[in-house]
Amino acid sequence: MAQEKAQTVTIDGQEYNMADLSENARAQLVNLRVTDQEIQRLNQQLAIAQTARTAYANALKAELPEKQTH
């Protein structure tokens, strides 16, 4: 049979075997991963909103009347 490779996680440059972590430590790891995914999702939403804002600002500028110089 092929040997299974132990799952590991690296935290602050230190590698840990997942099987050696407490249940609470594994739960916190899951929380960190979920939080990182949410941050990534929010960053994507922010990028979309910033792009839309730029487009709206450009559309507004195109609609403004020309200012006459004296």
Contacts of 17 (CB under 8 A, 6+ apart): 6, 7, 8
- What are the pLDDT digits (tens) for 16-46? 999 999 999 999 999 999 999 999 999 999 9
This prediction's pTM:
0.72
CB atoms within 10 A of CB 21: 16
Query: Measured between alpha carbons, how far is 63 from 7 in angstroms, rounded to an integer?
Result: 59
Residue with tokens 């899951």: 30
Structure tokens at 58: 């450009």
pLDDT digits (tens, 9 = 90+) for 42-68: 999 999 999 999 999 999 999 999 988
14-17 and 8-11 as β-strands: parallel, antiparallel, unpaired?
Answer: antiparallel
